[in-house]
Structure 1
């Protein structure tokens, strides 16, 4: 077996100069959690582990690449990466990344866990991951916490609302611009001019490589960013304007149709 890309499951080709790592990450157990905080982005080159990995951006946006897929994730997503699956990850800008590494014997049962995919990150799952970072807690307590997390993960929904990122360089430039400024109101024609291709070509690339039209892709990008802003405590009105909706009412309706609750109800989940 080629082991040239198999590394110790912590800090693989990271931008250590701009990240604040969790130094107390090793333990004698068959699982552990790492935490990285960055204010200038954090990148992990393509690599693989001997362990399974659960990646969660507690804060910020996480771009993950595996199996020919490029995905943009937010705090409502956790990426399941089985052992020996080559992947690449980037935490963009200000953010906090938490990763659970575990022996393959501890993974949930079923063929589903042989393949990388994205699961729904419930508040309880996030709390348990954070709890497992504390190595001062009794070993038996940590084991029970890990077992509970495994049970919850096993029944978690596969998230299909992830934002696929185009591989084409020109379309990727457009995607990056819209993710950096979700309120960007440029039309398809204007965005095509920005990367010097025809509107028809840009539209075709987005459909072929992301499975969505540019309009639908942009709407999902806006909704995903709105989750982060609401979690940070911004008002519904400010969030609506900040992600590019012309009226608050249209934002509320779109948000409810996609997530099954109002922006205000979602925001209340994170208010102390």
Structure 2
């Protein structure tokens, strides 16, 4: 099912007068689902947009960068900023469009960036899609979501996709199969490129060595699997860790909590 969230490419958000309290509702949330991917060509809106992949992986091209996002990210895209997006595989994309007068104050919100998606923020986005809710309730929920966005930390664990087509192909293969165990030499050979050149491209175009990039890809994918309720052992194996203990320790060092604690946030 598709509710195209990009129908506002050339228009502002629908403005409706709330006859119950005389206020204006100038925001709404849309939802897209897909079984085998969904692509949106470069476009821009007259509205601000908060983009969240509730399920699946989202490739976002914005501000000259190609980013790979998971359900723990929400992308803030100010009005008039051109962007393109691809929801990969089986996924669900939810977007909140709102008038620019509703954005948090500060220079930060005039630039696209990615913030941490807390469970409460995720719940509010889903709640705001329910048009049967009273307008006053929807407005209060939207105000709370805006406050949470304003205080949410900017996420630095997004993965940049290399611009070089050969390195980008490898990146997408590793994202599609985080358990891939091929070495740098083997990956370079598959792309008809020298290992030294491949290593140099990753550092220059993503800011990470290929090894660190792949480790972050594995950890990011593990968040999605944990949120689905998979066991720690299944997740560790599914993202390529040889032992569950090494996965748990690496996860804790990177996210500050154990995989079990993270999973409980989404299952309670």
Same structural fold, with TM-score higher than 0.5 when normalized by the shorter chain: yes
Tell me by how many angstroms 1:172 deviates. Answer: 0.5
Number of residues of Structure 1 aligned to a counterpart in Structure 2: 254
Residue 5 of structure 1 aligns with which residue? none
- In structure 1, runs of 5+ residues without a counterpart are 1-7, 14-24
In structure 2, what is the equivalent of residue 168 of structure 1? 164
Q: Hey, what does 2:195 align to over in structure 1?
A: 199
* Aligned partner (choices 125, 138, 154) of residue 158 of structure 1: 154
- Superposed CA deviations along residues 140-182 of structure 1, whole A, max 9, x for unmatched, are 1111111111111111100001111111100001001101110
Which stretch has the larger CA shift, 241-250 or 261-270? 261-270
Q: Which residue matches 2:60? A: 64
Give deviations 1:187-209, integer Å, cap 9, x for gaps: 00000000000000100111111
Aligned counterpart in structure 2 of residue 234 of structure 1, from 214, 219, 230: 230
Counterpart selection for 1:88 from 61, 76, 84: 84
Give the aligned partner of residue 55 of structure 1: 51
2:178–2:239 CA contact under 8 A, matched in 1 = yes
User: Which stretches in structure 2 are left out of the alignment for 5+ residues?
Assistant: 17-24
> CA separation in 2, counterparts of 1:179 and 1:98?
21
Report deviation, 1:254. 0.2
Deviations 1:85-104 (A, max 9, x none): 00011110111100000000
- Structure 1 contact 51–104 (Cα < 8 Å) conserved: yes
Aligned partner of 2:242 in structure 1 is 246
Report what 2:21 is aligned to: none
Distance 1:92 1:12 in 2: 22
Given that residues 10 and 34 in structure 1 are in contact (C-alpha distance below 8 angstroms), is that contact kept between their aligned partners in structure 2?
Answer: no
Are the equivalent residues in 1 in contact too, given 2:116–2:152 (CA < 8 A)? Answer: yes
Question: TM-score, normalised on structure 2?
Answer: 0.92
Q: Give 1:33's aligned residue.
A: 29
- Displacement of 1:10: 2.8
Change over 3 Å in CA distance of 1:108–1:43 after alignment to 2: same
In structure 1, the residue matched to 2:256 is 260
Q: Deviations over 1:111-142 (max 9, x none)?
A: 10000000111111111111111111111111
Residue 130 (structure 2) pairs with residue 128 (structure 1) = no
The aligned counterpart of 2:22 is: none
Deviant stretches of 4+, over 4 Å: none
Q: 2: distance between equivalents of 1:57 and 1:172?
A: 21
Of 261-270 and 77-86, more deviation after overlay is shown by: 261-270
SS state at 1:33 partner: strand
State the TM-score, normalized to the length of structure 1.
0.90
Once residues 48 and 117 of structure 1 are traced to their aligned partners in structure 2, the CA distance between those partners, rounded to angstroms, is 15
Please, what is the CA RMSD of the aligned residues?
Answer: 1.6
